[in-house]
Amino acid sequence: MRGREQSASTTSRVGYSHRVFVSRELPGDAAKLLYEHADVDTWEVLTPPSPEELAARTSKCRGLLVMATETVDSTLLDWTPELRVVSNMAVGYDNIDVAACSARGIAVGNTPGVLTETTADLTMALILAVSRRLLEGADAVRNGELPPFYPSFLLGRDVTGATLGIVGYGAIGRAVGRRAKAFGMKVIHHSRRSGLPLEEVLREADIISLHCPLTDDTRGLIGAAELALMKPTAILINTARGPVVDHSALTEALASHSIFAAGLDTTYVEPLPPDDPILSLTNCTILPHIGSATFATRMQMASMAVDNVIAGLQGKPLPHPVNP
């Protein structure tokens, strides 16, 4: 992969009037279809484009295909007067000002439904890994720190018989619940329309798993007060959006052992700064936002995102619209 000192783009020059910027190289063959409909400029650097770089590259584009790491707001839209379609390669779209896009007649699409089971699998993997301290054990083996059999070495928490509290009981939350029941877990939940009050779920559950979207209401939903309600033996899992959790409060709770451990696939910024204090804590397992990272799921997401762009360029309804 090229570094920033080299070219950060691959551009198709096929003579089409439509220009499209794609903010990351796509898996599979989805990009080939897009090349048949537009001049495509692809950002190939592993790190996302800065807001200034994104504005410069999209200023004359009619289509924009972005990841959840890119912010599409009024400031960017002011730089892109020709923009007609924004396609987010994600289910959530909190990185896009949908109202601002709608006001400018810009269609917005996402990739719903495709990653439900994949993300639920990853959630269960995190629950098991954190409960049984798998990463700590693997590190002990690699570092030659493994003692002879010692009865109190790396004791974890039982999953079977534990109570799982699901916060956000949409498609992914329900899929996690089905898996948890197969492990003999008791499942309770909290959501806007059903379930128990959040405080009750936090007090009762042995494991809290977050699956709510990031909105004004859910930003910082799990803060110091909420963490204080949890059992000292409890585990927090977040495969939703990082800002749903107050990062500083979680770091303090883990460092003081107010809760047992946490497993995060998303964080308040991605990637975390290498000197972030939470990275030094052995009771926190952090993954690089790979909830949907299987070959099949990511390729299908890319295909859906491309289909949205092509439809938008042609003035047709998007197959997966956010603002129909």
Which positions are catalytic? 241, 270, 289
Find the angle CA(77)-CA(53)-CA(105) to the nearest 5 degrees.
15
- State the DSSP code for 89: S
182: Cβ–Cβ under 8 A, 6 or more apart, which residues? none
By DSSP bridging, strand 186-190 and strand 207-210 are: unpaired
220: left (phi over 0), alpha (psi -120 to 50) or beta: left
Residue ranges of alpha helices (H) inside the chain are: 30-35, 51-58, 74-78, 98-103, 116-131, 134-142, 171-182, 198-204, 224-229, 247-255, 295-313
CA 297, CA 119: separation in Å to the nearest integer? Answer: 10
CA 24, CA 13: separation in Å to the nearest integer? Answer: 18
DSSP-assigned letters across all residues of 215-241: -TTTTT-B-HHHHHHS-TT-EEEE-S-
Type of residue found at 253 = A
Type of residue found at 84 = R
Reported as half-sphere exposure (CB side, CA atoms, 13 A), residue 302 has a value of 20
